[in-house]
């Protein structure tokens, strides 16, 4: 059914990708090794199809084709990430790889020449292995290294890039990379390593923001945000207990990072919970580190806009579950999904469009109507999915309708939407077994030809017309 609501004229529609997931060229012309290069080459069994991102979509060599497709989609913005080891092969700021600078200069210049605004993520998970060898995000030293890297990126590209995202999904980096160990660097240290790395992620983000403020902002006039991911967490009943449990969960998942960045310190409920649990568990101090007064003043307010990644929703009940210790256990809340919710090829990415609207309203109220750009939202298809991706179309139509309601009915401050993803790509530990793209790629084809799926036609239509019409099923692009 068509809705009469329309996206605002200046609303920024775009698509998103990340360097390791699309570029390939893993050792091209001076590039250094990332944690994903190292892990996929050394322990291929950690990836479900034993694959890697050595070639992936080959965007390193197919830049012109990517630009042509972006143009065809008529997006206003393209969110992509820079590969830290492609720019700084040693990980450190002593040596800049000219070929990396050339590649990103070309990409940025061609986007701008085609009226597409670059939105650049500094860090989307491909940490230089040299820095991981020193402890990666669990080591305090990374704050300086990340700041050095950010400064170089602003220096190199900030004359043209006006939208910066420091770090993509701190929760995933910390919980999966250093907590349950399901993502590079695959460390298992739940409730300890995850909090230690989280602390340094927050300080590193603030360092990169503050460097922009003091050295670049007045000249370059850009903006710096961070991308944080959350599911919507809906209380399972009207009881006070379930409401409090849902609040604990969102504060200790999403608020873990956003509360310090916006308000200066961890959410009070997170401090209380982790301190209490650590004590009960006989730890000599809280597993959640503390910021000094000086650090609080450095991190508070280091955000010009919020990049929001969102895929699904969970119901939340009061109760203690999860491994001891762990972030999940610290929450004293338990989550589940309704069996009647339609699922995608990733079981937990269930279709619950109303959850996005509720989340946007929660963000508006919790963080004083902060400007939100949805930096990821999308649908997982199976490996055997074809260009006839009707379920993805349903997902986008339904979720975008909720965004429209949040803008017009709830008056949320949402200025852009980046669909995940532009094209099928390397889906981390799931390898090539899941497809998120609007362009289909056969990863066995050496040419890595890109073919628009039906969802690309629908998305382009939404971008052009600014309305959602669920009955519309175009077979081609509008000209």
**Positions marked active-site:** 169, 376
| Beta carbons of 324 and 283 less than 8 angstroms apart | no
**Nearer of residues 253 and 420 to ligand BGC, judged by Cβ:** 420
Identify the residue whose tokens are 């220096």: 155
**Nearer of residues 274 and 374 to ligand BGC, judged by Cβ:** 374
Task: Determine, following the binding rule CB under 6 A, whether residue 18 of this chain makes contact with ligand BGC.
Answer: yes
CB of 270 to ligand BGC, least distance (A): 21
Q: Which stretch binds ligand BGC (CB under 6 A): 165-173, 272-280, 410-418, 465-473?
A: 165-173
**Residue 188: alpha-carbon gap to chain centroid:** 22
- What does the alpha-carbon distance between residue 357 and residue 374 come to, in Å, rounded to a whole number? 12
**Nearer of residues 121 and 326 to ligand BGC, judged by Cβ:** 121
CB of 375 to ligand BGC, least distance (A): 8
Contact track, ligand BGC, 181-220, x by CB under 6 A:
----------------------------------------
The DSSP H or E segment spanning 59 is none
Using CB under 6 A, pick the residue from 366, 391, 402, 427 that binds ligand BGC.
Answer: 427
- What does the alpha-carbon distance between residue 465 and residue 453 come to, in Å, rounded to a whole number? 19
CB of 217 to ligand BGC, least distance (A): 26
| Tokens found for residue 276 | 């209490």
Task: Determine, following the binding rule CB under 6 A, whether residue 385 of this chain makes contact with ligand BGC.
Answer: no
| Beta carbons of 385 and 443 less than 8 angstroms apart | no
Task: Please report, to the nearest 10 degrees, the dihedral formed by the alpha carbons of residues 261, 264, 270, 273 taken in order.
Answer: 160
The DSSP-derived string for 199-253 is HHHHHHHHHHHHHIIIIIHHHH--EEEEEEE--EEEESSSSHHHHHHHHHHHHTT
Contact track, ligand BGC, 334-373, x by CB under 6 A:
----------------------------------------
Q: Which candidate, 64, 63, 61, 62, places its Cα nearest to that of 29?
A: 61
CB of 431 to ligand BGC, least distance (A): 12
- What does the alpha-carbon distance between residue 296 and residue 260 come to, in Å, rounded to a whole number? 8
Q: How many CB atoms lie within 10 A of CB 253?
A: 23
**Nearer of residues 40 and 220 to ligand BGC, judged by Cβ:** 40
Tell me the site size for ligand BGC, rule CB under 6 A: 11
Task: Determine, following the binding rule CB under 6 A, whether residue 180 of this chain makes contact with ligand BGC.
Answer: no
- What does the alpha-carbon distance between residue 126 and residue 129 come to, in Å, rounded to a whole number? 9
Task: Please report, to the nearest 10 degrees, the dihedral formed by the alpha carbons of residues 327, 328, 331, 334 taken in order.
Answer: 170
**Nearer of residues 201 and 288 to ligand BGC, judged by Cβ:** 201
Using CB under 6 A, pick the residue from 3, 61, 139, 172 that binds ligand BGC.
Answer: 172
Using CB under 6 A, pick the residue from 163, 168, 220, 327 that binds ligand BGC.
Answer: 168
**For the chain, how many residues are written?**
479
Using CB under 6 A, pick the residue from 117, 304, 376, 402 that binds ligand BGC.
Answer: 376
Using CB under 6 A, pick the residue from 169, 180, 402, 424 that binds ligand BGC.
Answer: 169
Task: Determine, following the binding rule CB under 6 A, whether residue 175 of this chain makes contact with ligand BGC.
Answer: no
CB of 311 to ligand BGC, least distance (A): 7
| Beta carbons of 39 and 186 less than 8 angstroms apart | yes
Q: Which candidate, 262, 286, 263, places its Cα nearest to that of 273?
A: 286
Beta strands 450-452 and 439-441, pairing class: antiparallel
Task: Determine, following the binding rule CB under 6 A, whether residue 420 of this chain makes contact with ligand BGC.
Answer: yes
Q: How many CB atoms lie within 10 A of CB 44?
A: 13
What's the number of CA atoms in the CB half-sphere (13 Å) around residue 465? 16
Using CB under 6 A, pick the residue from 66, 229, 234, 304 that binds ligand BGC.
Answer: 229
CB of 159 to ligand BGC, least distance (A): 27
**Nearer of residues 7 and 428 to ligand BGC, judged by Cβ:** 428
CB of 51 to ligand BGC, least distance (A): 14
Strands (E), 372-458: 372-376, 381-382, 414-419, 434-435, 439-441, 450-452
Instruction: Please tell me the chain's helix, strand, coil percentages from 3-state DSSP, rounded to the nearest 5.
Output: 40, 15, 40
CB of 365 to ligand BGC, least distance (A): 25
- What does the alpha-carbon distance between residue 221 and residue 212 come to, in Å, rounded to a whole number? 10
Q: Which stretch binds ligand BGC (CB under 6 A): 168-176, 241-249, 270-278, 440-448?
A: 168-176
| Beta carbons of 256 and 270 less than 8 angstroms apart | yes
**Nearer of residues 328 and 420 to ligand BGC, judged by Cβ:** 420
Task: Determine, following the binding rule CB under 6 A, whether residue 309 of this chain makes contact with ligand BGC.
Answer: yes
CB of 351 to ligand BGC, least distance (A): 15
**Nearer of residues 47 and 407 to ligand BGC, judged by Cβ:** 47
**Nearer of residues 58 and 229 to ligand BGC, judged by Cβ:** 229
Contacts with ligand BGC by CB under 6 A lie at 18, 21, 168-169, 172, 229, 309, 376, 420, 427, 436
């Amino acid at each position: 059914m068509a809705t009469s609501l329309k996206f605002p004229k200046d609303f920024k529609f775009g698509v998103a990708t990340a360097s390791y997931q699309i570029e390939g060229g893993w050792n091209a012309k001076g590039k250094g090794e990332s944690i994903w290069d190292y892990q996929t080459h050394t322990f291929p069994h950690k990836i479900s199809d034993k694959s890697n991102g050595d070639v992936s979509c080959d965007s390193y060599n197919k830049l012109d084709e990517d630009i042509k497709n972006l143009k065809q989609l008529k997006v206003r913005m393209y969110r992509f990430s820079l590969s830290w080891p492609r720019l700084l092969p040693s990980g450190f700021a002593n040596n800049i790889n000219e070929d990396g600078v050339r590649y990103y200069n070309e990409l940025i210049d061609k986007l701008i020449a085609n009226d597409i605004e670059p939105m650049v993520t500094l860090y989307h998970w491909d940490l230089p292995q040299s820095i991981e060898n020193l402890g990666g995000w669990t080591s305090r030293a990374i704050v300086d290294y990340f700041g050095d890297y950010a400064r170089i990126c602003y220096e190199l590209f900030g004359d043209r890039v006006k939208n910066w995202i420091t770090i993509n999904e701190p929760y995933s980096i910390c919980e999966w990379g250093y907590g349950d160990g399901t993502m590079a660097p695959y460390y298992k240290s739940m409730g300890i390593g995850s909090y230690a790395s989280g602390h340094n992620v927050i300080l590193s983000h603030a360092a990169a923001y503050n460097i922009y403020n003091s050295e670049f902002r007045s000249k370059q006039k850009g903006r710096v945000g961070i991308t944080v991911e959350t599911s919507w967490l809906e209380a399972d009943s009207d009881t006070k207990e379930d409401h409090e449990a849902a609040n604990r969960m969102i504060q200790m998942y999403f608020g873990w990072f956003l509360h310090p960045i916006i308000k200066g310190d961890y959410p009070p409920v997170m401090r209380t919970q982790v301190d209490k649990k650590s004590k009960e568990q006989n730890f000599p101090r809280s597993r959640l580190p503390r910021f000094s007064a000086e650090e609080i003043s450095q991190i508070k307010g280091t955000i010009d806009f919020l990049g929001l990644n969102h895929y699904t929703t969970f119901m939340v009940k009061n109760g203690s579950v999860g491994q001891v210790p762990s972030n999940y256990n610290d929450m004293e809340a338990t989550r589940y999904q309704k069996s009647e919710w339609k699922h995608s090829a990733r079981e937990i990415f269930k279709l619950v469009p109303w959850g996005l609207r509720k989340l946007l309203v929660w963000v508006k109220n919790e963080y004083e109507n902060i400007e939100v750009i949805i930096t990821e939202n999308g649908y997982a298809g199976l490996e055997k999915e074809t260009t006839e991706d009707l379920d993805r179309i349903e997902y986008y139509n339904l979720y975008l309708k909720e965004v429209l309601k949040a803008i017009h009915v709830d008056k949320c401050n949402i200025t852009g939407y980046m669909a995940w993803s532009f094209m099928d790509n390397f889906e981390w530990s799931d390898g090539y077994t899941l497809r998120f793209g609007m362009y289909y790629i056969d990863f066995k084809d050496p040419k890595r030809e890109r073919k628009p799926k039906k969802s690309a036609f629908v998305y382009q239509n939404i971008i052009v017309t600014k309305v959602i019409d669920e009955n519309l099923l175009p077979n081609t692009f509008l000209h």
